[in-house]
Amino acid sequence: MSKPRADFHFVHGPISRVAGYYAKDIVFPMAGIGPEDVDVTGSYDAFTFTTMLQLEEYGFCKKGEGGTYVSSGIIELGGQRPNNTSGGHLCEGYTHGMNMVIENTRQLRGLVDDYCPRWQEGIHTYDYSEGRCRQVKDPEITMNLGWANPTTGSALI
């Protein structure tokens, strides 16, 4: 397992430089995976554009391609890598990322509390129509993408 260098100093960049710019080189090596291995993401979405910046900076797509990436449907329920499956801050409640940690834990356990009649038994329909199932099928790795700068940002795999 890699450890962050003790002499690693951070320099603050422009507003478009979010925590992923710094964190990706720490969290992915520590977890022994890359962005391509993540099944579900939870992104800090205080504003709609912040998700795109995070996906770019954490390496899920190239810098400047966040809009195309998001528009492709990849982050929707039923997409290759769903994001903010409980609605994120803008829909669910702004508790500075804790709801996303809880949601991604439920995703991994198969116990997302959705509209499937037997969700408490871990039985889901995977019908991603509006107001239906939001359980991702067989997720193995989830990641919470932190926003902000190195002194206030966080990330969790």
Catalytic residues: 44, 94
Q: Taking each helix axis as running N to C, give the angle between helix 48-57 and helix 19-31, from 0 to 180 degrees, rounded to the nearest 10.
A: 50
Strand partners, 156: 144
Closest to 135 in 3D by CA, of 85, 101, 97, 93:
85
Residue 156: CB atoms within 10 A of its CB come to: 16
